[in-house]
């Protein structure tokens, strides 16, 4: 068997430009001849996409933070088994829009300190960290305005508002300090192409 592929994740607050940058990086690598699987969380496999609907739609109080940790981790386990691991084993680069760092923050710090629980379940059921995590840093008010501009039905977390986004931004920057080997912070408040060039340079 050949070398395993690289596992790259994008993290950051809602509207920071993760999906855009994940797509641009995939296009860049494919143009250079690398096979790439572009995927996202929650979701990325048929079963995990079903769980996505359960967690992202409806009343913000629908699930407790503890139940959410179980649901997001269940979705991630399916995604890892069915999509991520097979692609890495086949030597493909996997680019994933959000991964376990989002659970560490959204479920880990927004409603009390549940970070320990998130990490325990992660090591029991996932046990895999990305090779590279690109954290797109963004002013929360601008990120929220961008995210709201999309007008979808997946608003459970966007409805938490600006205060949560501010906590998340600080949390992502703290995660970058906690995991300096795999995390890189990129300023997302610039034209898309400038951000994309910086992201691409991380892999050069
Ligand atoms: P995320 O996945 O982090 O929520 P998206 O990539 O979906 O963010 O971007 C949110 C919105 O902002 C989209 O409408 C997108 O076209 C726009 N956008 C993304 N990056 C930039 C940028 N650098 N400058 C201006 N608008 C952007
Ligand atoms: P996403 O579709 O990436 O939203 P956006 O494009 O607005 O950033 O993710 C949807 C929401 O799911 C987002 O508000 C963050 C939340 N989320 C969690 O709360 N925990 C998780 O583990 C993941 C992966 C996402």
Which H, E and C letters describe 173-189, residue by residue? HHHHHHCCCCEEEEECC
DSSP 8-state secondary structure symbol assigned to residue 192: H
Distance 119 CA to ligand 2 centre (A): 18
pLDDT score recorded for residue 157 = 65
Distance 102 CA to ligand 2 centre (A): 7
Give the ligand at the shortest distance from the Cα of 103. Answer: 2
Q: At what angle do helices 65-79 and 46-56 cross, to 10 degrees?
A: 160
Asked whether the beta carbons of 98 and 22 are under 8 A apart, the reply is no
For the segment 14-62, what is each residue's pLDDT rounded down to a tens digit? 899 999 999 999 999 999 999 999 999 999 999 999 999 999 998 888 9
Residue with tokens 């970058």: 176
Residue with tokens 């649901």: 71
Ligand 2 atom with least separation from CA of 154: 10
pLDDT score recorded for residue 190 = 96
User: Which residue's CA is minimally distant from atom 16 of ligand 1?
Assistant: 20
pLDDT score recorded for residue 151 = 63
If one residue of 17, 22, 39 were mutated to test the ligand 1 pocket, choosing by the most ligand atoms within 8 A of its CB, it would be 17
pLDDT score recorded for residue 11 = 98
CA gap 176, 146 in Å, rounded: 23
Question: What is the distance, to the nearest Å, from the Cα of residue 131 to the centroid of all Cα atoms in its chain?
Answer: 14
Ligand 2 atom with least separation from CA of 157: 14
> Which string of b and e fits 152-166 if b means at least 16 CB within 10 Å?
eebbbbbebeeebbe
Ligand 1 pocket, CB under 6 A: 12, 14-20, 146-147, 149-150, 191-192, 195
Q: What is the pTM of this model?
A: 0.95
CB within 8 A of 28, min separation 6: which ones?
A: 196, 200
Does residue 136 sit in helix, strand or coil? Answer: strand
User: Which residue's CA is minimally distant from atom 18 of ligand 1?
Assistant: 17
Distance 21 CA to ligand 1 centre (A): 8
- The tokens describing 44, both together, are 């990325």
pLDDT score recorded for residue 21 = 98
User: Which residue's CA is minimally distant from atom 23 of ligand 1?
Assistant: 192
Q: Count the alpha carbons within 13 Å of 75 in the hemisphere toward its beta carbon.
A: 26
Low-confidence ranges of the chain (pLDDT < 70): 1, 150-151, 153-160
Residue with tokens 């680019």: 95
User: Which residue's CA is minimally distant from atom 5 of ligand 2?
Assistant: 14
What domains sit in the chain, N to C, each tagged with a CATH number? 7-201 (3.40.50.300)
């Amino acid at each position: 068997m050949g070398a395993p592929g690289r596992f790259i994740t994008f993290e950051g607050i809602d509207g920071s430009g993760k999906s855009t940058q994940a797509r641009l990086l995939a296009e860049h690598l494919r143009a250079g001849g690398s096979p790439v699987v572009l995927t996202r969380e929650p979701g990325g496999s048929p079963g995990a996409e079903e769980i996505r609907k359960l967690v992202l739609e409806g009343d913000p109080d629908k699930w407790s933070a503890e139940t959410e940790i179980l649901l997001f981790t269940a979705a991630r386990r399916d995604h890892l088994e069915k999509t991520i691991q097979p692609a890495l084993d086949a030597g493909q680069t996997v680019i994933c829009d959000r991964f376990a760092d989002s659970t560490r923050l959204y479920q880990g710090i927004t409603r009390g300190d549940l970070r320990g629980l998130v990490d325990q379940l992660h090591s029991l059921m996932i046990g895999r960290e990305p090779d590279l995590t690109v954290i797109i840093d963004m002013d929360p008010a601008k990120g929220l305005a961008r995210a709201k501009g999309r007008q979808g039905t997946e608003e459970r977390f966007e409805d938490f508002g600006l205060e949560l986004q501010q906590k998340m931004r600080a949390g992502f920057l703290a995660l970058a300090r906690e995991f300096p080997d795999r995390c890189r912070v990129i300023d997302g408040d610039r034209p898309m192409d400038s951000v994309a060039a910086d992201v691409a340079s991380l892999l050069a």
